[in-house]
Amino acid sequence: MRYKKRKYFMAGRINLLQRSKIRELFEKARKMKNVISLGIGEPDFDTPGVIKDAAKRALDEGYTHYTPNAGIPEFREAIAEYYSDFYKIDVHPDNIIVTAGAYEGTYLAFQSLLEEGDDVIIPDPAFVCYVEDAKIAEAGIIRIPLREENGFRVDPDELVETITKRTRMLVVNYPNNPTGAVMKKQDVKALADIAEDYNLYILSDEPYEHFLYEGAKHYPMVKYAPDNTILANSFSKTFAMTGWRLGFTIAPDQIIKDMIKLHAYVIGNVASFIQIAGITALRDSRSWAGLEEMRRTYAERRKIVVKNLLNMPHITPFKPKGAFYVWAKIDPELDMSSEDFANWLLEKAGVVVIPGTAFGKQGEGWIRISYATKKDQLVEAMERMRNALSEI
């Protein structure tokens, strides 16, 4: 069957969205041979077997039907227990909604809190979905720069200067994608105080919370500003469950009710058997043993990448304390934009890296390297990069 050519009229909001440069480069690389991807941030580990077995049992036990919109009560209780056990935070299950990954959680937050006339402050650089979510919500977008000299953390003084009477929400994401930066306790407290003083909501996106190095710690924003925080989290990174699309959001009473209302019309509920597997992920020690293995492996790979980059010409890494990315600066003397450099490296060395401008204008002059890649491929990619850069 072939469709006749005709003119289609699309909703204007769709034309505002930009396709992810991360995906564009990834798809370009797929058409090439002998390419090593250090692009998309996806764990190369398999989901722990105990979690997969739990999903299989749940299917056999009949978990194939609708659940409450907010999620299975026992699962929400398990999430609340997790925050109590790990962080000594008292979260009520009624303030939790189970979402299709942290992606849906951020989308629900933008749609529930923002509209035309509101402004949202989004760091620059930042993960790609925040700006696009703001566009769909018809909100004004204010970018606040993350600076190398400040460890790519939000500067509280600069934040205060950015706030206006239209400002309704601030987005933070630590451990950070793309820079690998983490926030110190005083940073979190300072942002929490500002949110309370200026009546702002903070959307805190925290899927990399367990990937920390050199003694770094994670401080959930909800602990310090519970009445102002919408916390989005995911099972994708912690338990290598990217394809399962399982996450959750914690928010104050009225906001969580509004998010559940919208969620009911977007997806209804996350698949029931996947929620049952989520309970096992949180409560079974074997799931956490898998995380420890991942963390040790990423710590080793991080050292490999940083050490190699320090010994290459024309590129300088920012040493990350979290996530599984290295944010690296391109030598200005090369006179190449981030995008040109990424394309040059793909053509010259067969290595995929992400141009910094995929994450905002402040990313110009930088690239993101993911080390969620097998060690032998990572070593080979570093050698290819070194050889290519040495020829310039």
Quick: pLDDT tens for 162-180: 999 999 999 999 999 999 9
> Residue 371 falls within a domain, yes or no?
yes
User: Which of 225, 258, 284 marks a domain boundary?
Assistant: 284
Number of domains in the chain: 2
Quick: pLDDT tens for 219-228: 999 999 999 9
> Residue 5 falls within a domain, yes or no?
no
Alpha helix stretches (DSSP H) within 33-100: 49-60, 73-87
Whether residue 55 sits in one domain with residue 125: yes
pLDDT at position 111 = 97
150: Cβ–Cβ under 8 A, 6 or more apart, which residues? none
> Residue 71 falls within a domain, yes or no?
yes
> Residue 3 falls within a domain, yes or no?
no
Quick: pLDDT tens for 6-43: 666 677 777 777 776 666 766 776 776 889 999 878 89
Whether residue 298 sits in one domain with residue 274: no
Q: Which residue range(s) make up the domain with 297?
A: 12-46+288-390
pLDDT at position 33 = 80
Whether residue 341 sits in one domain with residue 263: no
Whether residue 137 sits in one domain with residue 150: yes
> Which burial class, exposed, middle or buried, applies to 368 when counting CB atoms under 10 A from its CB (0-12, 13-18, 19+)?
buried
CATH number for the domain harbouring residue 232: 3.40.640.10
pLDDT at position 354 = 95
Quick: pLDDT tens for 265-279: 999 999 999 999 999
Angstrom distance (rounded) from CA 280 to CA 51:
6
CATH number for the domain harbouring residue 314: 3.90.1150.10
User: Which of 284, 308, 327 marks a domain boundary?
Assistant: 284
Whether residue 239 sits in one domain with residue 379: no
Query: What is the percent of the chain where pLDDT is above 70?
Result: 95
Helix, strand or coil, per DSSP, at residue 329? strand
pTM, rounded to two decimals: 0.94
